Chain A
Amino acid sequence: MSAAAHHAPTSLGVSHYKLAMWTFLGSECFFFGSLIGTYMYYRGKSINGPYPLDVFSAEVTSISTFDLLLSSLFMALAVHYAKENNVKQMLLWTALTVVGGLIFLGFQAYEFTHFYHEGLTPRVNLFGATFFTLTGFHGAHVTVGVLLLISLMYYGGTGKLNNLGESTENIGLYWHFVDIVWIAIFTLVYLLEYT
Protein backbone atom coordinates (compact mmCIF):
# COMPACT_ATOMS: atom_id res chain seq x y z
CA MET A 1 0.00 0.00 0.00
CA SER A 2 2.95 2.24 -0.49
CA ALA A 3 2.00 5.70 -1.64
CA ALA A 4 4.59 5.33 -4.36
CA ALA A 5 2.30 2.89 -6.09
CA HIS A 6 0.02 5.77 -7.08
CA HIS A 7 2.61 8.02 -8.58
CA ALA A 8 5.40 8.11 -11.04
CA PRO A 9 8.52 7.05 -9.14
CA THR A 10 10.29 9.88 -7.33
CA SER A 11 13.52 9.97 -5.39
CA LEU A 12 11.56 10.19 -2.13
CA GLY A 13 9.01 7.57 -3.00
CA VAL A 14 6.15 10.03 -2.57
CA SER A 15 4.76 12.74 -4.79
CA HIS A 16 6.96 15.79 -4.55
CA TYR A 17 3.98 18.06 -5.14
CA LYS A 18 2.06 16.53 -2.29
CA LEU A 19 5.07 16.59 0.00
CA ALA A 20 5.60 20.24 -0.90
CA MET A 21 1.98 20.99 -0.02
CA TRP A 22 2.26 19.24 3.35
CA THR A 23 5.53 21.06 4.06
CA PHE A 24 3.89 24.33 3.13
CA LEU A 25 0.98 23.53 5.44
CA GLY A 26 3.53 22.78 8.16
CA SER A 27 4.95 26.27 7.69
CA GLU A 28 1.42 27.64 7.76
CA CYS A 29 1.12 26.19 11.26
CA PHE A 30 3.83 28.64 12.32
CA PHE A 31 2.11 31.46 10.49
CA PHE A 32 -1.28 30.96 12.09
CA GLY A 33 0.31 29.84 15.34
CA SER A 34 1.93 33.27 15.59
CA LEU A 35 -1.26 35.11 14.77
CA ILE A 36 -3.36 33.05 17.17
CA GLY A 37 -0.66 33.40 19.83
CA THR A 38 -0.68 37.15 19.40
CA TYR A 39 -4.43 37.25 19.65
CA MET A 40 -4.43 35.13 22.80
CA TYR A 41 -1.59 37.13 24.36
CA TYR A 42 -3.57 40.34 24.02
CA ARG A 43 -6.92 38.76 24.74
CA GLY A 44 -8.79 40.65 27.42
CA LYS A 45 -6.12 43.37 27.54
CA SER A 46 -7.99 45.96 25.51
CA ILE A 47 -8.50 48.99 27.68
CA ASN A 48 -11.21 50.54 25.55
CA GLY A 49 -14.07 49.12 23.54
CA PRO A 50 -15.68 47.79 21.50
CA TYR A 51 -15.02 44.48 23.23
CA PRO A 52 -15.62 41.06 21.64
CA LEU A 53 -19.07 40.55 23.12
CA ASP A 54 -20.12 44.04 22.01
CA VAL A 55 -19.74 43.06 18.37
CA PHE A 56 -19.83 39.26 18.02
CA SER A 57 -22.86 37.69 16.46
CA ALA A 58 -23.54 34.10 17.52
CA GLU A 59 -25.71 33.50 14.43
CA VAL A 60 -23.18 34.74 11.86
CA THR A 61 -20.33 32.80 13.46
CA SER A 62 -22.31 29.57 13.73
CA ILE A 63 -23.59 29.70 10.17
CA SER A 64 -20.19 30.48 8.65
CA THR A 65 -18.58 27.73 10.74
CA PHE A 66 -21.20 25.27 9.53
CA ASP A 67 -20.72 26.51 5.98
CA LEU A 68 -16.96 25.97 6.04
CA LEU A 69 -17.38 22.51 7.55
CA LEU A 70 -19.83 21.59 4.81
CA SER A 71 -17.42 22.86 2.16
CA SER A 72 -14.78 20.53 3.61
CA LEU A 73 -17.11 17.59 3.03
CA PHE A 74 -17.70 18.76 -0.56
CA MET A 75 -13.96 19.07 -1.04
CA ALA A 76 -13.38 15.53 0.22
CA LEU A 77 -15.99 14.27 -2.25
CA ALA A 78 -14.39 16.26 -5.09
CA VAL A 79 -11.01 14.69 -4.29
CA HIS A 80 -12.57 11.24 -4.26
CA TYR A 81 -14.17 11.68 -7.69
CA ALA A 82 -11.04 13.29 -9.10
CA LYS A 83 -9.07 10.21 -8.12
CA GLU A 84 -11.61 8.10 -9.96
CA ASN A 85 -11.20 10.41 -12.96
CA ASN A 86 -14.89 11.22 -12.76
CA VAL A 87 -14.49 14.76 -14.09
CA LYS A 88 -18.17 15.63 -14.06
CA GLN A 89 -18.66 14.77 -10.37
CA MET A 90 -15.33 16.36 -9.47
CA LEU A 91 -16.43 19.61 -11.14
CA LEU A 92 -19.79 19.51 -9.36
CA TRP A 93 -18.36 19.08 -5.86
CA THR A 94 -15.53 21.52 -6.50
CA ALA A 95 -18.08 24.09 -7.63
CA LEU A 96 -20.09 23.50 -4.44
CA THR A 97 -16.89 23.94 -2.42
CA VAL A 98 -16.34 27.26 -4.18
CA VAL A 99 -19.89 28.30 -3.30
CA GLY A 100 -19.21 27.38 0.33
CA GLY A 101 -16.03 29.45 0.29
CA LEU A 102 -17.79 32.43 -1.25
CA ILE A 103 -20.59 32.24 1.33
CA PHE A 104 -17.97 32.22 4.08
CA LEU A 105 -16.26 35.25 2.57
CA GLY A 106 -19.62 36.98 2.27
CA PHE A 107 -20.26 36.46 5.96
CA GLN A 108 -16.79 37.74 6.77
CA ALA A 109 -17.36 40.85 4.66
CA TYR A 110 -20.65 41.39 6.48
CA GLU A 111 -18.99 40.81 9.85
CA PHE A 112 -16.11 43.19 9.17
CA THR A 113 -18.47 45.88 7.93
CA HIS A 114 -20.72 45.44 10.94
CA PHE A 115 -17.75 45.60 13.32
CA TYR A 116 -16.50 48.74 11.62
CA HIS A 117 -19.84 50.43 12.09
CA GLU A 118 -19.78 49.41 15.73
CA GLY A 119 -16.52 51.34 16.01
CA LEU A 120 -14.12 48.41 15.93
CA THR A 121 -11.15 49.09 13.69
CA PRO A 122 -7.63 47.65 13.71
CA ARG A 123 -6.46 50.87 15.37
CA VAL A 124 -9.01 51.30 18.08
CA ASN A 125 -7.77 48.70 20.56
CA LEU A 126 -5.77 45.51 20.98
CA PHE A 127 -8.80 43.38 20.25
CA GLY A 128 -9.41 45.14 16.93
CA ALA A 129 -5.74 44.96 15.91
CA THR A 130 -5.31 41.27 16.67
CA PHE A 131 -8.79 40.20 15.58
CA PHE A 132 -8.63 41.78 12.13
CA THR A 133 -5.07 40.56 11.56
CA LEU A 134 -5.93 36.98 12.45
CA THR A 135 -9.33 36.63 10.79
CA GLY A 136 -8.24 38.84 7.89
CA PHE A 137 -5.35 36.54 7.08
CA HIS A 138 -7.66 33.56 7.40
CA GLY A 139 -10.10 35.20 5.00
CA ALA A 140 -7.21 35.86 2.62
CA HIS A 141 -6.42 32.14 2.74
CA VAL A 142 -10.03 31.28 1.96
CA THR A 143 -9.85 33.71 -0.98
CA VAL A 144 -6.70 32.06 -2.28
CA GLY A 145 -8.40 28.69 -1.83
CA VAL A 146 -11.38 29.81 -3.89
CA LEU A 147 -9.07 31.04 -6.65
CA LEU A 148 -7.19 27.73 -6.60
CA LEU A 149 -10.44 25.81 -6.83
CA ILE A 150 -11.69 27.92 -9.72
CA SER A 151 -8.45 27.41 -11.65
CA LEU A 152 -8.66 23.71 -10.81
CA MET A 153 -12.13 23.62 -12.35
CA TYR A 154 -10.87 25.38 -15.44
CA TYR A 155 -7.80 23.23 -16.00
CA GLY A 156 -9.42 20.03 -14.79
CA GLY A 157 -12.57 20.62 -16.84
CA THR A 158 -10.61 21.28 -20.01
CA GLY A 159 -8.40 18.25 -19.53
CA LYS A 160 -5.20 20.21 -19.13
CA LEU A 161 -3.99 18.44 -15.98
CA ASN A 162 -1.63 15.46 -16.13
CA ASN A 163 -2.89 14.08 -12.88
CA LEU A 164 -6.32 15.36 -11.96
CA GLY A 165 -6.46 13.26 -8.79
CA GLU A 166 -3.22 14.59 -7.38
CA SER A 167 -3.91 18.24 -8.29
CA THR A 168 -7.33 18.07 -6.70
CA GLU A 169 -5.94 16.32 -3.66
CA ASN A 170 -3.25 18.95 -3.10
CA ILE A 171 -5.67 21.84 -3.39
CA GLY A 172 -8.03 19.84 -1.19
CA LEU A 173 -5.31 19.59 1.48
CA TYR A 174 -4.99 23.37 1.41
CA TRP A 175 -8.75 23.77 1.67
CA HIS A 176 -9.04 21.40 4.64
CA PHE A 177 -6.18 23.21 6.33
CA VAL A 178 -8.03 26.51 6.01
CA ASP A 179 -10.98 24.74 7.61
CA ILE A 180 -8.98 23.44 10.57
CA VAL A 181 -7.50 26.89 11.15
CA TRP A 182 -11.07 28.10 11.39
CA ILE A 183 -11.82 25.34 13.91
CA ALA A 184 -9.08 26.85 16.09
CA ILE A 185 -10.23 30.44 15.51
CA PHE A 186 -13.86 29.55 16.15
CA THR A 187 -12.95 28.09 19.53
CA LEU A 188 -10.24 30.47 20.73
CA VAL A 189 -11.59 33.75 19.40
CA TYR A 190 -15.34 33.26 19.55
CA LEU A 191 -16.30 30.42 21.89
CA LEU A 192 -14.00 31.38 24.76
CA GLU A 193 -15.80 34.72 25.04
CA TYR A 194 -18.99 32.89 25.86
CA THR A 195 -17.62 30.51 28.49
Chain B
Amino acid sequence: MSASPNPSGSSHGADHGNPIPKYIAVFFALLIATGIEALPLFGLVDIPPAPLLGLSAVKFVVVVLIFMHMLGDHPMFWRVFFFPLGMAMGSFMVLMTLSGTWQLTWQEGKNGRDLDEVAACYRSRYDGACGSWVKSPVTGNEYCSAPASLKDDACQKLTPRMATDAAFAALLKPVGADPRFEGFADKAADAKLLVLMEVGKEVYGGNCAACHGPEGAGVAGLAPPMAGDAVANGASEEHINVLLKGLQGKVINGQSYAGAMPPWKQLSDDHIASVITWERQSWGNKGDMVLPEQVAAKR
Protein backbone atom coordinates (compact mmCIF):
# COMPACT_ATOMS: atom_id res chain seq x y z
CA MET B 1 0.00 0.00 0.00
CA SER B 2 3.05 2.26 -0.20
CA ALA B 3 2.71 5.34 -2.31
CA SER B 4 4.41 5.31 -5.65
CA PRO B 5 7.68 7.21 -5.54
CA ASN B 6 7.22 9.52 -8.50
CA PRO B 7 7.09 13.10 -7.34
CA SER B 8 4.06 15.01 -8.45
CA GLY B 9 6.10 18.11 -9.00
CA SER B 10 3.63 20.35 -7.24
CA SER B 11 4.31 22.16 -4.03
CA HIS B 12 1.44 20.42 -2.24
CA GLY B 13 1.74 16.88 -3.44
CA ALA B 14 5.41 16.69 -2.66
CA ASP B 15 4.84 15.23 0.83
CA HIS B 16 3.91 11.73 -0.15
CA GLY B 17 4.30 11.49 -3.88
CA ASN B 18 1.25 10.43 -5.83
CA PRO B 19 -1.31 9.24 -3.27
CA ILE B 20 -3.90 7.97 -5.74
CA PRO B 21 -2.83 4.29 -5.70
CA LYS B 22 -2.88 4.46 -1.91
CA TYR B 23 -6.39 5.96 -1.90
CA ILE B 24 -7.65 3.27 -4.24
CA ALA B 25 -6.01 0.51 -2.20
CA VAL B 26 -7.56 1.91 0.98
CA PHE B 27 -10.93 2.14 -0.73
CA PHE B 28 -10.83 -1.53 -1.68
CA ALA B 29 -9.70 -2.49 1.82
CA LEU B 30 -12.67 -0.56 3.22
CA LEU B 31 -14.91 -2.13 0.62
CA ILE B 32 -13.87 -5.64 1.63
CA ALA B 33 -14.33 -4.81 5.32
CA THR B 34 -17.79 -3.43 4.58
CA GLY B 35 -18.59 -6.48 2.49
CA ILE B 36 -17.68 -8.76 5.39
CA GLU B 37 -19.81 -6.65 7.74
CA ALA B 38 -22.72 -6.84 5.34
CA LEU B 39 -22.75 -10.65 5.27
CA PRO B 40 -25.01 -10.95 8.35
CA LEU B 41 -27.44 -8.51 6.74
CA PHE B 42 -28.24 -11.15 4.18
CA GLY B 43 -28.14 -14.01 6.64
CA LEU B 44 -25.03 -15.47 5.04
CA VAL B 45 -22.81 -15.54 8.11
CA ASP B 46 -23.36 -14.91 11.82
CA ILE B 47 -20.87 -12.39 13.17
CA PRO B 48 -21.05 -11.50 16.88
CA PRO B 49 -21.23 -7.80 17.88
CA ALA B 50 -17.64 -7.44 19.14
CA PRO B 51 -15.86 -8.20 15.84
CA LEU B 52 -18.35 -6.02 13.98
CA LEU B 53 -17.66 -3.09 16.28
CA GLY B 54 -13.92 -3.72 16.00
CA LEU B 55 -14.08 -3.81 12.23
CA SER B 56 -16.00 -0.56 12.01
CA ALA B 57 -13.60 1.09 14.46
CA VAL B 58 -10.74 0.09 12.16
CA LYS B 59 -12.62 1.50 9.15
CA PHE B 60 -13.27 4.70 11.08
CA VAL B 61 -9.60 5.16 11.97
CA VAL B 62 -8.38 4.26 8.47
CA VAL B 63 -10.60 6.93 6.89
CA VAL B 64 -9.36 9.50 9.39
CA LEU B 65 -5.70 8.57 8.93
CA ILE B 66 -5.63 8.14 5.15
CA PHE B 67 -8.56 9.93 3.50
CA MET B 68 -8.46 12.78 5.98
CA HIS B 69 -4.64 12.42 5.94
CA MET B 70 -4.34 12.82 9.67
CA LEU B 71 -1.30 10.58 9.26
CA GLY B 72 1.70 12.84 8.92
CA ASP B 73 -0.35 15.98 9.47
CA HIS B 74 0.23 18.48 12.22
CA PRO B 75 -0.42 17.05 15.74
CA MET B 76 -2.66 20.00 16.56
CA PHE B 77 -5.34 18.56 14.26
CA TRP B 78 -4.92 15.24 15.94
CA ARG B 79 -5.55 16.79 19.36
CA VAL B 80 -8.57 18.90 18.50
CA PHE B 81 -10.26 15.89 16.95
CA PHE B 82 -9.32 12.84 19.00
CA PHE B 83 -9.63 14.54 22.38
CA PRO B 84 -13.33 15.39 21.89
CA LEU B 85 -13.86 12.04 20.17
CA GLY B 86 -12.40 10.28 23.20
CA MET B 87 -14.57 12.31 25.56
CA ALA B 88 -17.68 11.59 23.52
CA MET B 89 -16.92 7.86 23.47
CA GLY B 90 -16.11 7.92 27.18
CA SER B 91 -19.46 9.57 27.97
CA PHE B 92 -21.15 7.02 25.76
CA MET B 93 -19.54 4.13 27.63
CA VAL B 94 -20.43 5.64 31.01
CA LEU B 95 -24.05 6.00 29.88
CA MET B 96 -24.12 2.41 28.67
CA THR B 97 -22.53 1.17 31.88
CA LEU B 98 -24.66 3.15 34.32
CA SER B 99 -27.87 2.25 32.56
CA GLY B 100 -26.98 -1.42 32.27
CA THR B 101 -27.58 -1.14 28.54
CA TRP B 102 -23.97 -1.94 27.86
CA GLN B 103 -24.30 -5.33 29.47
CA LEU B 104 -27.38 -6.16 27.47
CA THR B 105 -25.65 -5.14 24.31
CA TRP B 106 -22.60 -7.22 24.98
CA GLN B 107 -24.06 -10.29 26.60
CA GLU B 108 -26.92 -10.75 24.26
CA GLY B 109 -25.56 -14.00 22.86
CA LYS B 110 -27.96 -15.12 20.21
CA ASN B 111 -29.84 -11.86 20.60
CA GLY B 112 -33.19 -13.40 21.19
CA ARG B 113 -33.41 -15.42 18.03
CA ASP B 114 -33.86 -18.54 20.10
CA LEU B 115 -37.36 -17.69 21.21
CA ASP B 116 -37.99 -21.06 22.78
CA GLU B 117 -35.06 -20.57 25.10
CA VAL B 118 -36.31 -17.17 26.20
CA ALA B 119 -39.86 -18.39 26.61
CA ALA B 120 -38.66 -21.35 28.68
CA CYS B 121 -36.72 -18.96 30.87
CA TYR B 122 -39.81 -16.87 31.46
CA ARG B 123 -41.87 -19.94 32.22
CA SER B 124 -39.33 -21.18 34.76
CA ARG B 125 -38.83 -17.76 36.30
CA TYR B 126 -42.00 -18.06 38.30
CA ASP B 127 -41.12 -21.56 39.46
CA GLY B 128 -38.19 -20.48 41.59
CA ALA B 129 -38.01 -17.01 42.97
CA CYS B 130 -41.47 -15.94 43.98
CA GLY B 131 -42.34 -15.09 47.57
CA SER B 132 -46.10 -15.16 47.31
CA TRP B 133 -48.13 -17.47 45.11
CA VAL B 134 -51.79 -16.96 44.25
CA LYS B 135 -53.90 -19.53 42.50
CA SER B 136 -56.07 -18.17 39.72
CA PRO B 137 -59.66 -19.30 40.13
CA VAL B 138 -60.08 -18.91 36.40
CA THR B 139 -57.25 -20.82 34.80
CA GLY B 140 -56.19 -22.86 37.81
CA ASN B 141 -52.63 -21.62 37.22
CA GLU B 142 -50.57 -20.26 40.02
CA TYR B 143 -49.08 -16.85 39.50
CA CYS B 144 -46.58 -14.74 41.35
CA SER B 145 -48.32 -11.89 43.11
CA ALA B 146 -45.28 -9.69 43.60
CA PRO B 147 -44.08 -7.84 40.52
CA ALA B 148 -40.79 -9.36 39.43
CA SER B 149 -38.05 -6.85 38.92
CA LEU B 150 -37.42 -6.84 35.21
CA LYS B 151 -34.07 -5.19 35.75
CA ASP B 152 -32.54 -8.19 37.46
CA ASP B 153 -34.32 -10.57 35.22
CA ALA B 154 -31.99 -13.24 33.92
CA CYS B 155 -34.42 -13.92 31.11
CA GLN B 156 -34.22 -10.39 29.87
CA LYS B 157 -30.46 -10.61 29.70
CA LEU B 158 -30.86 -13.24 27.06
CA THR B 159 -32.03 -10.58 24.69
CA PRO B 160 -32.32 -6.80 24.61
CA ARG B 161 -35.18 -7.24 22.18
CA MET B 162 -37.19 -9.32 24.59
CA ALA B 163 -39.97 -6.79 24.89
CA THR B 164 -39.72 -5.73 21.29
CA ASP B 165 -39.75 -8.99 19.48
CA ALA B 166 -43.15 -9.40 17.92
CA ALA B 167 -42.74 -13.14 17.65
CA PHE B 168 -41.85 -13.40 21.30
CA ALA B 169 -44.74 -11.18 22.28
CA ALA B 170 -46.99 -13.59 20.43
CA LEU B 171 -45.69 -16.40 22.62
CA LEU B 172 -46.69 -14.56 25.76
CA LYS B 173 -49.84 -12.84 24.66
CA PRO B 174 -52.83 -14.79 23.47
CA VAL B 175 -54.13 -13.71 20.09
CA GLY B 176 -57.80 -12.83 20.00
CA ALA B 177 -59.98 -12.98 23.06
CA ASP B 178 -58.12 -13.81 26.25
CA PRO B 179 -59.49 -17.17 27.48
CA ARG B 180 -59.04 -16.01 31.05
CA PHE B 181 -62.02 -13.75 30.51
CA GLU B 182 -64.37 -16.58 29.64
CA GLY B 183 -67.53 -16.18 31.70
CA PHE B 184 -66.03 -13.07 33.30
CA ALA B 185 -69.33 -11.16 33.45
CA ASP B 186 -70.95 -13.79 35.65
CA LYS B 187 -68.24 -13.81 38.29
CA ALA B 188 -68.37 -12.19 41.71
CA ALA B 189 -66.46 -8.96 42.20
CA ASP B 190 -63.67 -10.68 44.14
CA ALA B 191 -63.11 -13.22 41.40
CA LYS B 192 -63.20 -10.47 38.77
CA LEU B 193 -60.50 -8.58 40.63
CA LEU B 194 -58.27 -11.65 40.71
CA VAL B 195 -58.53 -12.11 36.96
CA LEU B 196 -57.96 -8.43 36.25
CA MET B 197 -54.90 -8.37 38.49
CA GLU B 198 -53.40 -11.49 36.99
CA VAL B 199 -53.81 -10.32 33.43
CA GLY B 200 -53.09 -6.68 34.24
CA LYS B 201 -49.67 -7.43 35.62
CA GLU B 202 -48.76 -9.23 32.41
CA VAL B 203 -50.09 -6.42 30.21
CA TYR B 204 -48.22 -3.88 32.31
CA GLY B 205 -44.93 -5.75 32.04
CA GLY B 206 -45.24 -6.11 28.30
CA ASN B 207 -46.42 -2.63 27.43
CA CYS B 208 -45.93 -0.12 30.21
CA ALA B 209 -42.93 -1.16 32.28
CA ALA B 210 -40.33 0.08 29.79
CA CYS B 211 -41.28 3.71 30.47
CA HIS B 212 -43.19 3.69 33.74
CA GLY B 213 -40.84 1.17 35.30
CA PRO B 214 -41.47 -2.35 36.51
CA GLU B 215 -42.08 -0.90 40.00
CA GLY B 216 -44.14 2.04 38.76
CA ALA B 217 -41.37 4.52 39.48
CA GLY B 218 -41.43 6.18 36.04
CA VAL B 219 -38.53 8.07 34.50
CA ALA B 220 -37.86 11.63 35.69
CA GLY B 221 -38.72 14.14 32.99
CA LEU B 222 -40.09 11.51 30.63
CA ALA B 223 -42.72 9.22 32.10
CA PRO B 224 -44.63 9.96 35.30
CA PRO B 225 -44.48 7.49 38.17
CA MET B 226 -47.53 5.30 38.69
CA ALA B 227 -47.07 4.85 42.41
CA GLY B 228 -49.07 7.45 44.30
CA ASP B 229 -50.21 9.14 41.08
CA ALA B 230 -53.37 11.24 41.22
CA VAL B 231 -54.86 9.58 38.15
CA ALA B 232 -54.19 6.07 39.40
CA ASN B 233 -55.84 6.98 42.71
CA GLY B 234 -58.57 9.19 41.26
CA ALA B 235 -61.59 8.83 38.98
CA SER B 236 -61.34 5.83 36.70
CA GLU B 237 -62.69 7.77 33.67
CA GLU B 238 -59.55 9.87 33.55
CA HIS B 239 -57.36 6.78 33.81
CA ILE B 240 -59.23 5.07 30.97
CA ASN B 241 -58.93 8.20 28.83
CA VAL B 242 -55.16 8.26 29.21
CA LEU B 243 -54.93 4.66 28.02
CA LEU B 244 -57.26 5.15 25.07
CA LYS B 245 -56.01 8.52 23.89
CA GLY B 246 -52.44 8.76 25.07
CA LEU B 247 -50.89 11.73 26.84
CA GLN B 248 -48.00 14.11 26.55
CA GLY B 249 -46.54 17.04 28.44
CA LYS B 250 -48.10 16.36 31.80
CA VAL B 251 -46.91 18.41 34.79
CA ILE B 252 -47.11 16.78 38.21
CA ASN B 253 -45.91 18.65 41.30
CA GLY B 254 -43.96 21.08 39.15
CA GLN B 255 -42.16 18.28 37.32
CA SER B 256 -43.04 18.08 33.64
CA TYR B 257 -42.95 14.83 31.70
CA ALA B 258 -41.99 15.25 28.08
CA GLY B 259 -42.34 11.69 26.83
CA ALA B 260 -45.20 11.00 24.42
CA MET B 261 -47.42 8.21 25.64
CA PRO B 262 -49.11 6.66 22.62
CA PRO B 263 -52.76 5.63 22.72
CA TRP B 264 -53.16 1.98 23.69
CA LYS B 265 -56.51 1.48 21.98
CA GLN B 266 -55.13 -1.51 20.11
CA LEU B 267 -55.39 -3.46 23.36
CA SER B 268 -58.69 -5.19 24.05
CA ASP B 269 -61.18 -3.81 26.55
CA ASP B 270 -60.36 -6.77 28.77
CA HIS B 271 -56.65 -6.00 28.74
CA ILE B 272 -57.06 -2.24 29.21
CA ALA B 273 -59.38 -2.83 32.16
CA SER B 274 -56.85 -5.30 33.54
CA VAL B 275 -53.83 -3.07 33.32
CA ILE B 276 -55.72 -0.09 34.71
CA THR B 277 -56.93 -2.17 37.62
CA TRP B 278 -53.41 -3.48 38.16
CA GLU B 279 -52.02 0.06 38.24
CA ARG B 280 -54.74 1.26 40.57
CA GLN B 281 -54.15 -1.55 43.04
CA SER B 282 -50.37 -1.80 43.00
CA TRP B 283 -47.55 0.05 44.73
CA GLY B 284 -49.84 1.35 47.47
CA ASN B 285 -52.36 2.87 45.06
CA LYS B 286 -55.93 2.93 46.26
CA GLY B 287 -57.88 3.30 43.01
CA ASP B 288 -60.96 1.21 42.34
CA MET B 289 -61.37 -1.77 40.05
CA VAL B 290 -62.15 -0.99 36.40
CA LEU B 291 -64.28 -3.38 34.37
CA PRO B 292 -64.07 -4.03 30.60
CA GLU B 293 -67.52 -2.52 30.01
CA GLN B 294 -66.34 0.79 31.48
CA VAL B 295 -63.52 0.82 28.92
CA ALA B 296 -65.92 -0.07 26.11
CA ALA B 297 -68.15 2.83 27.11
CA LYS B 298 -65.27 5.31 26.80
CA ARG B 299 -64.07 4.18 23.36
Contacts and interface: CB of A to CB of B under 8 A. Distances in A.
A51 B91 contact: no
Interface stretch (B136-144, B156-164, B184-192, B282-290): B156-164
A187 B53 contact: yes
B120 interface: no
B88 interface: yes
Interface residues of A, number: 70
A43 B52 contact: no
B279 to A, nearest CB: 15
Chain B contact residues (Cβ within 8 angstroms of A): what range?
Answer: 35 or more
Interface string A5-33: 01000001110001100110111011011
B37 A186 contact: yes
Contacts of A184: 56, 60
Interface in B1-29: 8, 10-13, 15, 19-20, 23-24, 27
Contacts of B12: 6, 83-84, 165
Contacts of A65: 34, 38
A117 interface: no
Interface string A86-127: 000000000000000000000000000000000000011111
A192 B211 CA distance: 23
A51 B169 CA distance: 12
A46 B164 contact: yes
A51 B41 CA distance: 16
B67 A72 contact: yes
Interface stretch (B78-86, B121-129, B171-179, B227-235): B78-86
Contact of A41 (B52, B101, B111): B101
A149 B209 CA distance: 47
Interface in B237-292: 260, 262
A183 B60 contact: yes
B64 interface: yes
Contacts of B262: 48, 123-125
A41 B99 contact: yes
Interface string B180-219: 0000000000000000000000000011111100000000
A147 B206 CA distance: 46
Interface stretch (A137-145, A151-159, A173-181): A173-181
A19 B72 contact: no
Contacts of B76: 12, 14, 19, 22
Contact of A51 (B11, B111, B161): B161
Interface string B99-121: 10100110010010000000000
B23 to A, nearest CB: 5
Q: Which of B10, B38, B76, B111 has the most CB of A within 10 A?
A: B38
B59 A183 contact: yes
Nearest to B58: A183
A190 B42 CA distance: 12
Nearest to A36: B92
B31 interface: yes
Given A80-B19, A83-B12, A186-B37, A51 B164 contact: yes
B153 to A, nearest CB: 14
Given A76-B23, A180-B64, A187-B52, A47 B101 contact: no
11 contacts: A18-B77, A23-B80, A25-B81, A29-B85, A41-B96, A58-B42, A77-B23, A83-B10, A177-B68, A184-B56, A195-B46
Nearest first, the 4 closest Cβ-Cβ pairs linking A and B are A33-B88, A44-B160, A83-B12, A26-B84
Interface of B: 8, 10-13, 15, 19-20, 23-24, 27, 30-31, 34, 37-38, 40-43, 46-49, 52-53, 55-56, 59-60, 63-64, 66-68, 72-74, 76-77, 80-85, 87-89, 91-92, 95-96, 99, 101, 104-105, 108, 111, 159-166, 206-211, 260, 262
Interface of A: 1-3, 6, 12-14, 18-19, 22-23, 25-27, 29-30, 32-34, 36-37, 40-41, 43-49, 51, 54, 58, 61-62, 65-66, 69-70, 72-73, 75-77, 80, 83-85, 123-127, 165, 172-173, 176-177, 179-180, 183-184, 186-188, 190-192, 194-195
